[in-house]
Amino acid sequence: MTAWEGADDPHQLRQGQHASAMREEYGGALASAGSTGTWRPMHLVARVRCDACGQWQRTQGAGSSCNCGAVLPEPPALW
């Protein structure tokens, strides 16, 4: 996976780490299937499972509370 500042930066596909990864992907035995595309997040919601009641809850980061009143676990890092 690669990421850059804007989806309008296609020149980055043909150079640097992305080009190296693509050569390894398509030229070697790294994988037998895959998919490519451009992803633009429109609406992302971070959710974690509450350790106390087991329900999924939206989180606003460290210190967020569940509907049951328990403090939610730290969400994993997002890209």
Give percent of the chain above pLDDT 90. 24
Residues 6+ apart with CB under 8 A from 39: none
Placement of tokens 């939206």 in the chain: 58
pLDDT at 46 (0 to 100): 82
Length of the chain: 79
Q: Is 72 exposed, middle or buried (0-12, 13-18, 19+ CB in 10 A)?
A: buried
pLDDT (tens digit per residue) in 4-44: 666 666 676 777 877 887 787 777 777 777 777 777 777 77
